[in-house]
Chain A
Amino acid sequence: MDRFVWSNGLLEMNETLVIQQRGVRLYDGDEKAKLDVGTALLSTHRLIWRDQKNHECCIAVPLSQVIFFEEQAAGIGKSAKIVIHLHPVSPNKEPGPYQNSKYSHIKLSFKEHGQIEFYRRLSEEMTRRRWEQTPASQAIPTGTGTQAGRTRAVGIVGIERKLEEKRKETDKNISEAFEDLSKLMEKAKEMVELSKSIANKIKEKQGDITEDETIRFKSYLLSMGIANPVTRETHGSGTHYHMQLAKQLGDMLLVPLQERGGMMALTEVYCLVNRARGMELLSPEDLVNACKMFESLKLPLRLRVFDSGVMVVQLQSHSEEEMIASALDNVTEKGSLTSEEFAKLLGLSVLLAKERLLLAEKMGHLCRDDSVEGLRFYPNLFISQA
Chain B
Amino acid sequence: SIMTFEWPWQYNFPPFFTLQPNADTRQKQLAAWSSLVLSYCRHHRLYTLDVLEAQESPVFNNKNTGRKLSTEAIQVIFEELRKKGNLEWMDKNKARCLIMWRRPEEWGKLIYQWVSKNGMMNSVFTLYELSNGDDTESEEFHGLEDWLLLRSLQALQTEGKAEIITMNDGKGVKFF
Which residue numbers of A lie inside 8 Å of B, CB to CB? Answer: 336, 361-362, 364, 367-371, 376, 378, 380-383, 385-386
Contacts and interface: CB of A to CB of B under 8 A. Distances in A.
For the complex of A and B, list the 7 residue pairs with the smallest distance between their C-beta atoms, beginning with the closest: A369-B14, A382-B28, A370-B18, A367-B15, A369-B15, A378-B15, A382-B25
A358 to B, nearest CB: 9
Contacts of A380: 22, 25
Interface residues of B, number: 17
Given A367-B20, A371-B66, A371-B67, A383 B15 contact: no
A336 to B, nearest CB: 8
A140 to B, nearest CB: 75
Contacts of B14: 336, 369, 371, 376, 378
Binding site secondary structure of chain A? mixed
Contacts of B32: 382
A168 B32 CA distance: 77
Interface in B25-39: 25, 28-29, 32
B21 interface: yes
A364 B24 contact: yes
A361 B22 CA distance: 7
Contacts of B15: 367-369, 378, 381-382
A83 to B, nearest CB: 71
A368 B67 CA distance: 13
B9 interface: yes
Given A362-B22, A382-B25, A383-B28, A371 B9 contact: no
Contacts of B67: 369, 371
A263 B66 CA distance: 36
A59 to B, nearest CB: 79
A174 to B, nearest CB: 53
B17 interface: yes
A272 B18 CA distance: 39
A386 B9 CA distance: 11
B5 interface: no
Nearest to B23: A364
Contacts of B17: 369, 371
Most chain A CB within 10 A, of B15, B21, B29, is at: B15
A371 B24 CA distance: 21
A367 B66 contact: no
B28 A368 contact: no
Contact of B24 (A369, A370, A381, A383): A383
A317 B54 CA distance: 51
Nearest to A367: B15
Nearest to B68: A371
B10 interface: yes
Given A367-B25, A371-B66, A371-B67, A381 B20 contact: no
Given A369-B17, A369-B18, A370-B18, A383 B9 contact: no
13 contacts: A361-B22, A368-B20, A370-B18, A371-B14, A371-B67, A378-B14, A378-B15, A380-B22, A381-B15, A382-B20, A382-B25, A382-B29, A383-B28
Chain A CB count within 10 A is highest, among B17, B25, B29, for B25
Contacts of A378: 13-15
B29 to A, nearest CB: 5
Contacts of B10: 381-382
A369 B66 CA distance: 12
A332 to B, nearest CB: 14
Contact of B22 (A336, A367, A376, A385): A367
Given A371-B14, A376-B14, A383 B66 contact: no
Nearest to A386: B28
Nearest to A358: B21
Nearest to A369: B14
A356 B94 CA distance: 39
B13 A381 contact: yes
A371 to B, nearest CB: 6
Interface in B59-102: 66-67
Contact of B9 (A336, A370, A385): A385
